[in-house]
Structure 1
Amino acid sequence: MTFPFRALSTALTTVVATSASAEEVTLRYLASQGGLSAHELAQELGYFEGTGITLENLGYATGGPESLIALAGGSVDIGSAATAAVLNSIAGGNDFVAAYPSNGINDEVQSIFYVLEDSPIHGVEDLPGRTVAVNTLGAHLDYTVREALHSASLPEDAANLIVVPGPQLEQVLRAGQVDVAAFGYWQTTFEGAARQTGGLRPIFDDTDVLGDIAGGFVVLRRDWVEAHPDAAHDFVDASAKALDYARKNPEETREILARALEERGENPEVAQYFRGYGVREGGLPVERDIQFWIDVLEREGQVAPGQLAAKDILLVTGDDASVTN
């Protein structure tokens, strides 16, 4: 099926106008502590007005895999996870499409691996046998550690990964319960607060390992997109526009984030450390964002060669007017 999406290769300036008879759809999702997804920001900015789209927050996800499980089971309509987790889920039989990059990693926005200042750990070569705190297993930080070890010619399972929620990462590191705390690119608020307190030292970040790339994706079920093509278009359009808004208006975005966190009963003070979403201008992906991880999964034997293709997974890209599925 070909979705008649208009080209989105340049910075979006308007959301496509829709008629008063636009289909009414409710998209349920799980939020992430300490941050706002681009579709949540789009809602705060009023970008869904006139589209018939309503967003409904059903609570929090501890990590991307939980979000994808909820999406596969029909509990939510929007999922969000690291690219590798999305691909594993699709390879496992879930018919998802990548709607837009939830975040990217670059020189301004990245996942940073911290140790205590007096730690004997100074780089990836020191990770074997060490305990690394990540927000969840099977997602971005997990695969970043594996890829970092592989790049250093070390066994990919040489480090011990344990799950620690984002708000507790700093605490467990300072208490000596873990050797390394990994603050994801989507956790810049928690990372900024920890860095401000002092006494920590970064040893590497994910751009050292992966380069500039989309870190994860917001995903939809393919059958939902086929049933609601106009709503799918408007959802991507508004979210991409919100990503551009955040890049151009960082201070205003931090103010919106602080207000949203306070309304959710979270600490609004961490909003000052939000560094942005790290995505390209235009808010849309390129095929390398997906293909890099397909190549990794094929190398590890987790998917068969040719089993997955980026063009079949991406709903729309920054240089394509339409996507055929």
Structure 2
Amino acid sequence: MATTASTRRQFLTLLGLSTVAVSCGTAGATAGKGGTKTLRYQGWAGQVTLPELAEDLGYLKDVKLEWVGNTISGPQDIQSAATGQVDFGGAFNGAVVKLAANNAPIKSVISYYGSDKHAYSGYYVLEDSPIRSARDLIGKKVGMNTLGAHAEAMLDIHLQREGLSPADIDKVEPLVVPPVNTEQSLRQKQIDVAVLGGVLRDKALATGGIRPLFTDYELLGAFSAGTYVMTERFLKQNPDTVRTFVTAVGKAIEWARTTPHEEVVARMTSIVKKRGRNEDAAALKYWRSFGVAETAGRITGKELQLWIDWLTERGDIDKGQVTLSDLYTNEFNAAPKSGS
């Protein structure tokens, strides 16, 4: 099991792309007359992303997706978008804010995941674990998909709310564990706490023998947690393609929200099987929701402002370093606003 330790003093520094690095990025696919009609992206093993669902539903029309590989990290995905290795990437909004603060020329265009009563990230321990409270986490290992992103931020907020001092918080050890290995790592006691979400969480719960300490839904209620970003240059060069893409993703969000669960699962299972990536689609039966709070994934600003304020309070970014209005746009989202 590959793991990486972090202290709270290092929190979010993994996202510290230099100004030089991000300014060297390109817009991605070269835009010809009328703009590119191909969007390069990274997927997630055993899962179906909203753009993949939108394409299968026919919402992307003449725009094609080009899969270039899988990622296990939102910060890595949006860094790839910022440097032009892919044309869009998605991550936890705190990671988006941090990357923008490092002068990455990116802009959020639509929310794509969040937390609700069905879709949430939980922090789980074994049923017989002595860990019962936040204070019990001191000196313990918490396995998550990446550092400096959603899972670590939620852990940090939980520990702060439960009254732990900065010194005590610094003794809680977040570790990187690939999502598909997190449940196994917990059961083998390689970690003390496992951060599990989506189908991987529900699959683990169905197996039994684990219990939650807390969830991000309990911490913050229903909220959109992550956005897809594109570079400003790509937006300017390919407005029609971007509009088709964002609108299609918005429609896919509402299709998944209003379509019977069994039908959504069947559709996603079919997508995984026919794309031929040698994946196991079994866990998809546990899918419940993408968790996007707003109709068609429109961004209100509050889901980004939350992290601007939090990162500023922590000293991770300077006050005024990031301007909310520069971070996002809804101008490319032409999906119906009623959700019908």
Q: Offset of 1:217 from its aligned partner? A: 1.0
Q: Offset of 1:178 from its aligned partner? A: 0.4
Distance in 2 (CA, whole Å) between partners of 1:261 and 1:132 is 30
Q: Which residue of 2 aligns with 1:54?
A: 64
Q: Which residue of 2 aligns with 1:112?
A: 122
Match of 1:257 among 253, 268, 271: 268
Is residue 315 from structure 1 mapped to residue 326 from structure 2 by the alignment?
no
Of stretches 300-309 and 236-245 in structure 1, the one that deviates more from structure 2 is 300-309
Q: Which residue of 2 aligns with 1:284?
A: 298
Distance in 2 (CA, whole Å) between partners of 1:69 and 1:23 is 22
Is residue 165 from structure 1 mapped to residue 153 from structure 2 by the alignment?
no
Distance in 2 (CA, whole Å) between partners of 1:213 and 1:294 is 16
Distance in 1 (CA, whole Å) between partners of 2:155 and 2:230 is 27
Q: Offset of 1:112 from its aligned partner? A: 0.7
Q: Which residue of 1 aligns with 2:86?
A: 76
Match of 2:47 among 16, 35, 49: 35
The within-5 A match list for 1:80-95 is: 80-95=90-105
Q: Offset of 1:127 from its aligned partner? A: 1.7
**CA RMSD of superposed structures (Å):** 2.0
Distance in 2 (CA, whole Å) between partners of 1:261 and 1:279 is 22
Is residue 216 from structure 1 mapped to residue 229 from structure 2 by the alignment?
no
Please list the CA deviations of residues 185-239 of structure 1 after superposition, one character each: whole Å capped at 9, or x if unmatched: xxx1111111111101111001222222211111111110011112211111110
Deviation beyond 4 Å, 4+ runs, structure 1: 21-24, 317-321
SS at match of 1:289: helix
Contact in 2 for aligned 1:122/1:203 (Cα 8 Å): yes
Is residue 197 from structure 1 mapped to residue 211 from structure 2 by the alignment?
no
The aligned amino acid for 2:263 is: E
Q: Which residue of 1 aligns with 2:318?
A: 304
TM-score using structure 1 length: 0.86
Match of 2:38 among 15, 19, 26: 26
Corresponding residue pairs, total: 296
Q: Which residue of 1 aligns with 2:6?
A: none
Q: Offset of 1:309 from its aligned partner? A: 2.6
- 5+ residue gaps, structure 1, are 1-20
Of stretches 306-315 and 220-229 in structure 1, the one that deviates more from structure 2 is 306-315
Distance in 2 (CA, whole Å) between partners of 1:151 and 1:305 is 23
Please list the CA deviations of residues 216-271 of structure 1 after superposition, one character each: whole Å capped at 9, or x if unmatched: 11111111001111221111111000000011113222112212223322111111
Contact in 1 for aligned 2:51/2:248 (Cα 8 Å): yes
Contact in 1 for aligned 2:41/2:87 (Cα 8 Å): yes
Q: Which residue of 1 aligns with 2:139?
A: 129
Contact in 2 for aligned 1:34/1:190 (Cα 8 Å): no
Contact in 1 for aligned 2:112/2:297 (Cα 8 Å): no
Report percent identity of matched pairs.
34
Distance in 1 (CA, whole Å) between partners of 2:108 and 2:266 is 29
Q: Which residue of 1 aligns with 2:243?
A: 233
